Chains A and B, each alone.
Chain A
Amino acid sequence: MEMTDDFDEFYRDTSRRLVRYAYGLTGDAAEAQDLVQEAYARGWQRWRRLSGYEDPEAWLRLVVNRLSLDRWRRIGVRRARAAAEAPLPPTPPPSEDTVLLVRAMRTLPPDHRRALALRYLLDLSVADIATETGVPEGTVKSWLSRGRAGLAAALGIEEHTTAREGVHHAH
C-alpha cells in the first residue's frame, strides 16, 4: 500500500506537466492523454526501481517522447484503447492560436519539437534540456533556434533572434 501511495502522490505531482509535454509533442489531445497514461502504466510496472531514480519524471518524458515517435503505435493503438476504456470528459476546443501552433509544430523535426516543448511548456533550462537529451548545450540552443525559425516560417511570422538563445549556425 505504501508503494501505491507513493506512486499516486507522484502521479498527482507530475501528471499535469507530462500532459503539457505530450500535448506539445503531438498536438493531439487524445493522443497526449493516452501517451501519458501509457507512460505512467510503464512507470508503475517499474515503480520499485523508478522511485529510486534521481529524476523519475524525466524517465516518463523519455517514454512519452519515444512513444510519440513510434510509428507502429501511432497507427491504431490509441483508438483500440479508447474503445476499451471509459471515456474522459470532453475538453473545450483549442483557441485558433493553439491550432495554428500545433500545426506548425508538426512541421518540425522531432528534436526541435522536443526541445521547444521542454523549454516553453515546462520551463526547463538549456542545461537541463542538454542533460535530459544527452547532447551538448550548443546543440540544444541550435534546436531551439532552428525550431523557432521553423515555427516562424510555418506561421509566416518574422523571426527575431534574442541574445539569450540566438544561435546562427547549424550544430
Chain B
Amino acid sequence: MPTDLDEMFIALGRQADTLPLGPAASARRRGRQRTRTRAALAAAAAVCLITGGLAVTTTHRRADPSPAASPLPTVGKPIVFGGTARNVTTAISGATAYAVWVAPDGKTNVAGADLRTGAERFPAHALGTFNQVNVVRALPKAVVVDVQEDMDRMLYILDPATGEQRWKLPLADGDDHVYYENDLVHMKMKTGETRAFDWATGDETWRQPAGADPVVHTVGMRMEADAPRAGFSDPRLIQLTKGNRVLIRDAATGKSLGNVPGQIAWGDPYLAYEGTLYTVVPLHYTEAKKVWSSYLIRETDLTAPYLSRSVRSGPAGRALQALAPCGRGKLCVLDTLDSANQLASIDIGASAENWRVDAPPTAFSLESSGGRVLAVGGRSNALYDTDGKQVLLPEDLAGAHVGWIGSAAVLSLSTSGEVAKVLVENGDREVIGSVPPGTTAWAWNNERLVAATPTEMRVLDLGG
C-alpha cells in the first residue's frame, strides 16, 4: 500500500485510540434501559409531516408538561392499549389514524381510529413480537410497518381498513424500496435484483434480474404536486448502477424506458424531480494546492436526448448534507464545514446562488412547501422564507418538533406539549392547545392531530 496512505491509516488508528470510552457498566446500563424503555432509534426515526391527509409520524421522548394551554379537545374516546407500551408510533392516511405499539414483552399491536369521529376503525390486534417499530407509513392502499427484531428488519404490509397483515418483506442493509399507488418496488442490494409486489396480494408483478452492471440505488420520481411521504405518482422508476449509468424503468411493468450515462457519486444525496435527476459529485482533496474542492451538483434530463450538465459547485471545503426542491426552478442545499451548517438556494437555470444563510448546526434535512424551507435537525429547526430570511429562528423552535400544515403554516409541538400554528408569511404564532401529558407520538393533518402516550391514542381536534 502506498506509504502515505499507510501512514494516514496509522494516524487514524492512533486518533481512534485516544477517544475515551465509558466503563463497561455504562454499556450494561444502556442495555438494561433499551429493554425497559423506548429505543432512541424510534425517538428520532422520522419527521412529522402534514399534507392533505397523509402523514408519517415520529415518536419522541418528551419532558413532561404542565402546559399553560388548554388541552386540545378529544374527538370520540381514546383507544386504550391495555398496558404500557415501550415504543409507540402513529400515522394518518385519509380518514384513518393508526397506532402501532410495542408492549414490554415485545408483542406489537396495531389499532385504527376514524379521524372524523374518533371511533375505533378496527380492534387492536397483534402483529408479532419485535424489538421495536422503526417507522409506520400509511398509504391509501396499505399500511407499512417497518420493524426490527435483533439484526433482522421486516416490512409488514397491512390492510388499511382492517389492520390485518397481508404479507411481509424482509429488508437488508443497502436495500431500497419505493412506494407507488398500486405496488411496492424493492431493490435487493445483495443480489441486484429488483421486484415489484402488489400492495393487496403481495404477488410479484414484475422482476428484473441483476445485470452485468448492478443497480446500487433505486428511487422514484418526485413531482411538485406529490404529497411528501406519499407514494410516487410519476410512473418512472430511476435506478443508478455501479457503472454510473442511470436506468429508467416503467414502475408498473419494470420495462426499460431508457438508460443514461451519468456522473453519479454513490452515497451522496441525490434527487429525481420533475423529470430531472440531480446527482452530487462529492468534494475531493487536491494535494498540490492543499485544498478541498467542494461538491458539484449535476443535472440530467431523463427524457431523450438526456442532456446533462453541471449546475453548481458549493463553496470550497463544504460537504453536502441535503438537497431539496424549493420552488420552481430552484434547489435548496444544506451543506456543512466543520459542523457549521449553511442553507443556500440555487437558481438551476442560471447556475447561480440566490442566497446563502446560516442554518442550525444540528440540521440534517430539508422540507419545503410553497418555496419556503424548513431546516430540520432533531430538536433544532429553522424556517426560511423564499428570500432566505429566517421566519422562525432556532431559538423560536428550540426543543420543538415541527412540520408543515398546509403550505402556509407550520405546526410546532413544544417540549411542554403546547401545540402552536405559525404563519410563515409573518411569523405570527397562535397557541391552539396542548396534547395529553406523556405524549410520545403524533401525526396530523389540517383538521386533526393524533397523539399517543404509552397507554392510549387520542384523536384531537385542531379546529382547522
Contacts and interface: CB of A to CB of B under 8 A. Distances in A.
Interface of A: 4, 7-8, 11-12, 15-16, 19-20, 22-24, 29, 32-33, 36-38, 40-46, 62-63, 65-66, 69-70, 72-73, 75-77, 79-81, 85, 88-89, 91-92, 94-95, 97-98, 100-104, 106-110, 116, 120-121, 148, 151-160, 162, 165, 170
A24 B2 contact: no
A43 B31 contact: yes
A8 B265 contact: no
A37 B378 contact: no
Nearest to B338: A99
Nearest to A11: B24
B28 interface: yes
Range class of the B interface residue count = 35 or more
B22 A42 contact: no
A14 to B, nearest CB: 10
Given A24-B12, A109-B216, 8 more contacts: A33-B22, A43-B27, A44-B30, A69-B174, A72-B41, A76-B362, A106-B282, A107-B265
Contact of A12 (B1, B24, B33, B134): B24
Contacts, number: 193
Contacts of A23: 12, 15-16, 19
Nearest to A154: B284
B19 A19 contact: yes
Interface in B397-449: none
A163 to B, nearest CB: 12
Interface of B: 1-2, 4-9, 11-13, 15-22, 24-28, 30-35, 40-41, 43-46, 61, 134-135, 150-151, 173-174, 216, 242, 265-267, 282-288, 292, 319, 362, 364-365, 377-379
A11 B28 CA distance: 10
A29 B19 contact: yes
Given A37-B26, A98-B8, A77 B15 contact: no
Given A72-B135, A73-B44, A156-B284, A66 B151 contact: yes
Q: Is the interface of A mostly helix, strand, loop or mixed?
A: helix
Contacts of B19: 19, 23, 29, 32-33, 91
Nearest to B9: A120
A106 B336 CA distance: 14
Given A40-B27, A156-B287, A77 B11 contact: no
A121 B16 contact: yes
A152 B5 contact: yes
B446 to A, nearest CB: 26
Nearest to A75: B364
B2 A152 contact: yes
A102 B287 contact: no
30 contacts: A8-B24, A11-B24, A19-B21, A23-B12, A23-B15, A29-B19, A32-B16, A32-B19, A33-B19, A33-B20, A33-B21, A40-B24, A40-B30, A45-B34, A72-B46, A75-B364, A76-B44, A76-B364, A77-B41, A79-B379, A80-B379, A88-B21, A91-B15, A91-B18, A107-B284, A110-B174, A120-B1, A155-B5, A156-B285, A156-B286
